[in-house]
A and B are shown apart, each in its own frame.
Chain A
Amino acid sequence: MITAGVDCGAKNVKVVILKDGEIIGKGIKLAGMNTNAAAEEAFQQALAQAGLTRDDVAKVTTTGAGKNEPTFEHEIVTEVGADARGIHALHPEVRTIIDVGAEEGRAIKVNEAGKVVDFAINEKCAAGAGAFTEAMARALEIPLEEFGAVALQSSQSIPMNAQCAVFAESEVISLLHRKTPKTDIARAIHDAISDRITSMVRRVGIEERISLIGGMAKNIGFVASLKNDLKTEVIIPDDYQYVGAIGAAWMAAEE
């Protein structure tokens, strides 16, 4: 059976084509102002990679903040459910999932069967999501792709007083005025977001093994701060951005 999972995130739409448990195609597009158009494009990209056409796909399931947007025929599953199913397919040994996307952070506790036991979500505040790092990278005038690496060059840990992204931006500017090295400010920012995420994870309880997924998993500065806070290793799947879409595709196949 061939199914598709579509994860309509706040920033990117991710599509995965699944054939009998094998990932045979992937697509990713910036959601921009039109999630539906981005979903169509990412879908076409994934189909092209799989060498299939739309008619070959038996069922489509969507998830993510914009899961209601696509106009093609689809069923809907929750982000938490899709993350849990996706990680179960990729790393069944994982018990705690940390998903940090552009505008949302989630901590999900799963059992051996891949079922959700408990979860916590922050979708109200940019301080616990990728949007925070984006705003800070802008304030420091460091390209987002290099931001994490810059943080790793820091020689000392300095505290950030502000939690709020708006206040943190002012704090970053005054740190720059005081000639604080950008590397140290970058580290302080990654430590701050890691701190926020870690306290959310503690609310559901930390059980090994732990997996980090979502766009923030590509930020090596954040990963370093998070490992430091959790005092343990974290599993980052190769398809860390596609876990929700993979889970959605699995759920489509199973129903």
Chain B
Amino acid sequence: MAQDEKGAGYWRWTESRWTSPDLNPKNGEVNSAGVDVGSVSTQAVVMVDGELYCYSNMRTGSDSPRSAENAMNWALEDTGLTLDDIHATVGTGYGRVNVPFATKAITEIACHARGANFMYGPTVRSILDMGGQDCKAIHCDERGKVKAFLMNDKCAAGTGRGMEVFADLLGVHINEVGEMSLQVDEEPPPVSSTCVVFAKSEAAALLREGWPKERVLASYCSAMAHRVVTLLERIGVEEEFAITGGIAKNAGVVKRLAEELNIELAKTDMDTQIAGALGAALFARALYEKKMKSG
């Protein structure tokens, strides 16, 4: 990103990693991994016998294979595990064919549905994945198998990149955008331009008019919520409904979306950005078990 070198980098969301304090991978029979190389972020997830053991969540670099390796190395850091201890790995996401150590590549639609099924439970039927450069509405069955999906990957409106542009414009860190947008007494009208480039000019004009940042962000978050509701309405929403991806962490968009749909959202304690990698790790486990059975 151009802002990377020049600007203050308000769009830089926080990278993270996690290891389960309870699981011991040495006792596991199957260690499976999933790596989701997205256009903006990359996640690596390691599961031990189908339980989440550790993960990392990083920004994707300009080189997909290296991003996949970096994410995997970070996930395994201090776990005592190495790549050799992993029995099977599935790559997914935009850069899925560029995961050098993967056994197989599976589409992110299938992985997100499978991952959401694990994260939110088998009652989830509709998933909205709000990623860095795309937005997908997915219907799945109780096993997390995809029944239908719709995707916008042509336009930044309704994606994480769009929100990053606004974080930079307003000089508000991306992690705080959602909460800040909720600090308004009254809901302002949504930004009227769909296009992020035009919405940015519109927001700049609102700031010049003296609108506080909170109000401008409220206006943009509600525009984004409305934008994805239009996508969802084309495929329909069946309960339970869950949101995955980075924007799922933005309370400003999520709350407005739930209100507009008049729906209760499924909840999880897990990092919503790892859904794709989680699904990939579950597929990897199934692949390995199938291989073992067939000898």
- Which residue numbers of A lie inside 8 Å of B, CB to CB? 33, 103, 124-127, 131-132, 135, 138-139, 163-167, 169-170, 173-174, 177-178
Contact = CB atoms under 8 A, between A and B. Distances in A.
Interface string B208-251: 10000000000000000000000000000000000000000000
B2 A124 contact: no
Contacts of A163: 154-155
B1 A170 contact: yes
Contact of A125 (B62, B133, B162, B194): B194
B205 interface: yes
A178 B62 contact: yes
A127 B198 CA distance: 11
A125 B227 CA distance: 14
B39 interface: yes
Interface in B124-181: 133, 154-156, 161-162, 165
B133 A167 contact: yes
Given A170-B39, A177-B62, A165 B2 contact: no
B195 interface: yes
A170 B1 CA distance: 6
A115 B133 CA distance: 43
B195 A138 contact: no
Contact of B198 (A131, A138, A169, A177): A131
A126 B193 CA distance: 10
**Nearest 5 A-B pairs (CB), nearest first?**
A166-B156, A126-B197, A177-B62, A165-B197, A166-B196
Interface in B48-88: 62
A174 B154 CA distance: 18
A64 to B, nearest CB: 16
Nearest to B4: A173
Contacts of A164: 154-156, 196
Nearest to A140: B2
Interface residues of B, number: 20
Contacts, number: 53
12 contacts: A103-B198, A126-B195, A126-B198, A131-B198, A138-B2, A163-B155, A164-B196, A165-B195, A169-B2, A170-B133, A173-B1, A173-B2
Contacts of A173: 1-2, 62
Contacts of A132: 197
Contacts of A103: 198, 201
Given A173-B2, A177-B62, A166 B197 contact: yes
Contacts of A125: 155, 194-195
B279 to A, nearest CB: 24
B194 A124 contact: yes
Interface string B26-64: 000000000000010000000000000000000000100
B267 to A, nearest CB: 31
Contacts of B201: 103
A121 B161 CA distance: 26
B162 A166 contact: yes
A220 to B, nearest CB: 23
A123 B85 CA distance: 55
A132 B208 CA distance: 23
Nearest to B204: A33
Contacts of B2: 138-139, 169, 173
A125 B165 CA distance: 16
A166 B161 contact: yes
Contacts of A169: 1-2
Given A170-B1, A173-B1, 20 more contacts: A33-B208, A124-B194, A124-B195, A125-B155, A125-B195, A127-B195, A131-B197, A138-B2, A139-B2, A164-B155, A164-B196, A165-B195, A166-B161, A166-B162, A169-B2, A170-B133, A170-B161, A173-B2, A173-B62, A177-B62
Contact of B161 (A138, A167, A174, A178): A167
A178 B61 CA distance: 12
Contacts of A124: 193-195, 198
Contacts of B205: 33
Interface in B1-25: 1-2
B152 to A, nearest CB: 10
Q: Which of A124, A163, A166, A177 has the most CB of B within 10 A?
A: A166
Contacts of B198: 103, 124, 126, 131
A10 to B, nearest CB: 8
A173 B39 CA distance: 13
Nearest to B205: A33
Contacts of A135: 197
Nearest to A124: B194
Nearest to A33: B208
Contact of B62 (A33, A138, A139, A174): A174
A173 B62 CA distance: 9
Contact of B165 (A131, A166, A177): A166
A103 B193 CA distance: 11
Nearest to B40: A170
Q: Which of A126, A139, A167 has the most CB of B within 10 A?
A: A167
